[in-house]
């Protein structure tokens, strides 16, 4: 019976139906709980579904049941790699190669894990870090006078709780100005407040009705009257002299915009590392424009690094 369920699992896996493969291998494990091959196969199925935590549990069980079987360490390495646990993945692949030095899948897996670890070390630091973790988040939001008010609003609290549970949900709330303010507080980034009349829509008030045409006598009196004196144009204000500090700030803001545009272009090309580089440079030049931070956040979310 266990062999029959295993055969069904193998067939489902070969056809790409990994969820069915998990079910069949689970049936087989229920009938033969000490069979290390079944755990190995189910681990591969979970990994194909990107359920790496489940894949890791089965890989560990595989190695526990059969510590001298190199394939178990291949499963273990793949699960660790899927969870971005690069050092553990490297250790698992190396352990498998100690058992079977000529195993090609283990060699390829080790190379992939080492390359991933190298990329992770050279990548820019995640801008969020532990900003959303633990009670420190609530303490910092409470300490700031602006976000302290937001904490009295249930919908804001719910959004922050969602983000704390799953930082990937941040992307859902980036348009909420309160969330952006909270990000600024948590990451110690200045947020530029738009002026009251910025981006104001055009007036929707109705146009005044046209005045009725003057009568002939009114036109005559108007012609005889002295024409009204046109007001003299006011002199244009002289350009304000900027200090060296203000000039430098203006230049830095202009350069920051150029970096942002370069980042946008890279993002559209899915060149995420380059996009992060440009957005980070823009933020270094101008830490008052929150758009550089949110753009970089979007890239990290796309990369799954939040």
Look at residue 245 in the predicted model and tell me its pLDDT.
77
* Shared domain check, 169 and 252: no
**Mean pLDDT per 10-residue interval, the chain, length 306 residues:** 93 93 96 96 93 95 96 95 92 96 92 86 60 78 90 91 79 83 79 40 38 51 48 50 74 88 86 84 79 73 56
Structural domain for 255, as ranges: 245-303
* Shared domain check, 134 and 103: no
Look at residue 6 in the predicted model and tell me its pLDDT.
95
Task: Among 137, 165, 187, identify where a domain stops.
Answer: 187
Beta strands in 21-125 (DSSP E): none
Domain count along the chain: 3
Residue 218 domain flag? no
Task: Among 95, 122, 149, identify where a domain stops.
Answer: 122
Contact predicate 146/181, CB 8 Å? yes
Residue 64 domain flag? yes
Q: What is the CATH number of the domain that holds 104?
A: 1.25.40.10
* Shared domain check, 267 and 157: no
Residue 73 domain flag? yes
Look at residue 97 in the predicted model and tell me its pLDDT.
96
* Shared domain check, 142 and 68: no
Residue 15 domain flag? yes
Residue 234 domain flag? no
Residue 75 domain flag? yes
For the entire predicted model, the pTM comes to: 0.47
Residue 231 domain flag? no
Residue 159 domain flag? yes
């Amino acid at each position: 019976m266990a062999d029959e369920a295993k055969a069904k699992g193998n067939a489902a896996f070969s056809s790409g139906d990994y969820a069915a493969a998990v079910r069949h291998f689970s049936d087989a494990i229920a009938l033969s709980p000490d069979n290390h091959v079944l755990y190995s196969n189910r681990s591969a199925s979970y990994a194909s579904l990107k359920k790496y935590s489940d894949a890791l549990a089965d890989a560990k069980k595989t190695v526990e049941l059969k510590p001298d079987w190199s394939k178990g360490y291949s499963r273990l390495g793949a699960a660790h790699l899927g969870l971005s646990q690069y050092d553990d993945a490297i250790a698992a692949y190396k352990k498998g190669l100690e058992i079977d030095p000529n195993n090609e899948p283990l060699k390829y897996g080790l190379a992939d894990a080492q390359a991933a670890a190298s990329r992770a070390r050279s990548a820019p630091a995640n801008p969020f870090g532990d900003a959303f973790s633990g009670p420190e988040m609530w303490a910092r939001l409470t300490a700031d006078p602006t976000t302290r008010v937001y904490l009295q609003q249930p919908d804001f609290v719910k959004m922050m709780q969602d983000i704390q549970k799953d930082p990937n949900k941040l992307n859902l709330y980036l348009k909420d100005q309160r969330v952006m303010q909270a990000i600024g507080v948590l990451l110690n980034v200045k947020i530029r407040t738009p002026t009251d009349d910025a981006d104001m829509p055009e007036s929707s008030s109705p146009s005044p009705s046209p005045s009725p045409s003057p009568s002939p006598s009114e036109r005559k009196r108007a012609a005889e009257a002295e024409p009204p004196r046109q007001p003299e144009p006011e002199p244009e204000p002289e350009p304000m002299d900027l200090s060296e500090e203000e000039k430098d700030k203006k230049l830095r803001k202009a350069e920051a915009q150029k970096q942002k545009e370069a980042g946008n272009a890279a993002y559209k090309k899915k060149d995420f590392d380059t996009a992060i580089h440009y957005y980070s440079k823009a933020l270094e030049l101008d830490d008052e424009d929150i758009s550089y931070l949110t753009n970089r956040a979007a890239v990290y979310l796309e990369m799954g690094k939040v």
